Amino acid sequence: MDKNQSQFQTDPNPTSGITEPFSGSPRHIQAKVVATRRITNDVYHLSLMGEEIATAARPGQFVMVRVSQAVDPLLPRPFSIHRVMGDRFDILFRVVGQGTRILARTAVGETFAVTGPLGRGFLLAPGRVLLVAGGIGLAPLFFLAQDLISRGFCRPDEVTVLAGGRGRADILCREELTELGVRLQITTEDGSLGRPGLVTSLVQEQLEAASEPIRVVSCGPKAMLQAVAGLAAAAGCPCQVSLETGMACGLGVCLGCVVRKADTPGPAYLRVCREGPVFDAGEVFNS
Amino acid sequence: MNHPDLTVTLGRLKLANPVMTASGTFGYGEEYAGIVDLNRLGALVVKGISLRPRPGNPPPRIVETAAGMLNAIGLQNVGLTAFIRDKLPYLRPLAPALVVNILGETEDEYVEIAAALSDQEGVDAIELNISCPNVAAGGLVFGADPVATSRLTARVRAVTRKTLLVKLTPNVTDITVMARAAVDAGADGLTVINTLLGLAVDLTTRRPRLANVTGGLSGPAIKPVALRMVWQVARAVDVPVIGVGGISTWQDAVEFFIAGATAIQIGTANFFNPTVTMNVLEGITAFLIDSGVAKITDLIGTLRLT
């Protein structure tokens, strides 16, 4: 990344009303767990104390958490920042392997080495926005919704959250979203909550019903992101996607987290940790 | 006791302390600037540079293994021209010695890169990467053959007065053969070791977990192998050996000094503990004070065999 790009620009640009989402210098801290909550069978919520990270974090950015002092598992795990409150930052995660299993057993008072905030977050811009979440992909989108409203970019009713999952347990943060006052629509594949089917059907309806282009922001499984990006492109709407990959450092150094850059003749790769995790859909999905 | 003397010498290059970063694990330095006081490092080794930019291998490129990781990055880097134009100005004023790791697909490419870097103020040493296991041409092709190692080292030696380090691969039957070949051809020092070739398999798909099929194993898992090879090489040659492989604590570093390393590089540990270089430097210093050792050089090669 260009060095002079890697600066925070936290104040909205007065002419465009857009806040650029670039990352500044990350911090490496020992963060104490101040609250833990089991949300569903395999989804957990942790609150960590860390003023340096909480105050600098932008929606869409992530932290690397070293889950163990031992060397197995060796590498820290990336988690998108779910929300910040004062000097606390929260993560919301699903148990998927060795690292998240350890994290799920965490007790209040334990500390973890955390590096962050990392990566390029969502573009903040005024006006109607469609946030499309697949399962745990809601984690960073909640922070975005909250930030768009609290910073005055959007009225609550300008933010529509479309949440999809396999079943009702995959639909997260319903109460919190209702409290924010955003419009919430739900789909589940098994029909146990909201409309049966895939979230992309709601995306299509919303885009078709809109009188002017809406910004689309999505986080979830890759196949879903690709489908959402396709629908947005067909409707002429700008679309940002937040990607997840395995990574060793989170700092742009190991080059292990890359994804193929879209629409290039030869191979070219983008680092999810630095050029992302939030990308314009056209950067990572071929047109 | 006074602060111990941590200075070490590699060829004509004097380092303020023996703590170095390993190529490919510390980017071009600036990525760690907010986390590590770069000026306290003994030397900074940047990501391997090739003549032209390289896109690298397709993903997946890394996989975690027990106490280690496999990588097959494929030497993605910005290339020589962009390195000199965009990266060197940031690195030049920093206190640590600057070591540029270089890789070519042919002898001529290595020579061209080395010659270009020799003209650059602020570059203190060149580290020849003849040991990357993840590229089709170059790398191991040179490092696994003593004749090729010798010829390449001699050709690069002929175009540069900078300190010349050769980074050796562990993927050979007898590493001391390669070590002697490099030293006889003019290497000022040897970096021991690069990654060990490995494989990880996905049980469900029965496919390799890396797109490149195989990758280089690094991390704490390889430390005993690296330590053994440093010990072997340090006995076989009379130039400084830089120990690298699995170092993540100051205790690990001290083991390498005792086994014969003049300096150490920290690699994969930068990923899971970004302040590890500072932790190791402080730990070494405290260890020397506590053991009443005045100079780090008094510790080097003091392994007791009887």
A170-201, pLDDT tens digit by residue? 999 999 999 999 999 999 999 999 999 999 99
List chain B residues with CB under 8 Å of A74.
64, 67-69, 219-220, 268, 272
Question: What pLDDT shows up at residue B115?
Answer: 98
In this structure, is residue A171 part of a structural domain? no
In this structure, is residue A124 part of a structural domain? no
Distance CA B289, CA B273 (A): 25
Question: What pLDDT shows up at residue B139?
Answer: 73
Contact flag A256-B272 (C-beta cutoff 8 Å) = no
Question: What pLDDT shows up at residue A20?
Answer: 58
Q: Is the pLDDT of residue A21 over 60?
A: no
Nearest CA in chain B to A245: B60
In this structure, is residue A237 part of a structural domain? no
Contact flag B219-A73 (C-beta cutoff 8 Å) = no
In this structure, is residue A259 part of a structural domain? no
Entry field: residues in chain A: 287
Question: What pLDDT shows up at residue B34?
Answer: 87
Contact between residue B221 and residue B246 where contact means Cβ atoms under 8 Å apart: yes
Q: How many CB pairs under 8 A join A and B?
A: 106
Question: What pLDDT shows up at residue A11?
Answer: 42
Q: Is the pLDDT of residue A14 over 60?
A: no
Question: What pLDDT shows up at residue B96?
Answer: 98
Q: What are phi and psi of A264, to 5 degrees?
A: -115, 145
Q: How far is A268 from chain B (nearest CA, A)?
A: 5
> Which of B69, B70, B98, B132 is the catalytic position?
B132
A80-133, pLDDT tens digit by residue? 999 999 999 999 999 999 999 999 999 999 999 999 999 999 999 999 999 999
In this structure, is residue A248 part of a structural domain? no
Selected residue of B25, B28, B30, B31 to mutate for chain A interface (largest A Cβ count, 10 A): B31
Mean pLDDT of A21-32: 82
Question: What pLDDT shows up at residue A45?
Answer: 97
Contact between residue B85 and residue B229 where contact means Cβ atoms under 8 Å apart: no
Query: Looking at the 3D structure of chain A, how many domains does it have?
Result: 1
Q: Domain residues for A86? A: 3-118
Q: A71 CB near a chain B CB, below 8 Å?
A: yes
Rounded to whole angstroms, what are the CA distances from B205 to B72, B201, B202, B212, B290? 20, 8, 6, 16, 53
Burial B176-207 (b: 16+ CB within 10 A, else e): bebbbbbbebbbbbbbbbbbbbbebeeeeeee
In this structure, is residue A172 part of a structural domain? no
Question: What pLDDT shows up at residue A12?
Answer: 42
Contact flag A74-B58 (C-beta cutoff 8 Å) = no
A60-86, pLDDT tens digit by residue? 999 999 999 999 999 999 999 999 999
A240-284, pLDDT tens digit by residue? 999 999 999 999 999 999 999 999 998 999 999 999 999 999 999
- Our answer to whether residue B300 is catalytic in this structure is no
ipTM comes to 0.95
CATH architecture of the domain with range B8-56+75-196+218-298:
Alpha-Beta Barrel (3.20)
CATH of the domain at A24: 2.40.30.10
In this structure, is residue A273 part of a structural domain? no
Contact flag A71-B62 (C-beta cutoff 8 Å) = no
In this structure, is residue A195 part of a structural domain? no
Selected residue of B61, B65, B75 to mutate for chain A interface (largest A Cβ count, 10 A): B61
Nearest CA in chain A to B271: A249
Q: A97 CB near a chain B CB, below 8 Å?
A: no
Contact flag A254-B25 (C-beta cutoff 8 Å) = yes
Question: What pLDDT shows up at residue A13?
Answer: 43
Q: Tell me what percent of the residues of chain A surpass a pLDDT of 90.
A: 89
pLDDT band at A150 (very low <50, low <70, confident <90, very high): very high
Domain segments of chain B: what residues? 8-56+75-196+218-298
Entry field: residues in chain B: 306
Spans of chain B below 50 pLDDT = none
Selected residue of A253, A257, A264, A270 to mutate for chain B interface (largest B Cβ count, 10 A): A253
Nearest CA in chain B to A25: B34
CA atoms in the 13 A half-sphere facing the CB of B175: 27
Q: How far is B278 from chain A (nearest CA, A)?
A: 13
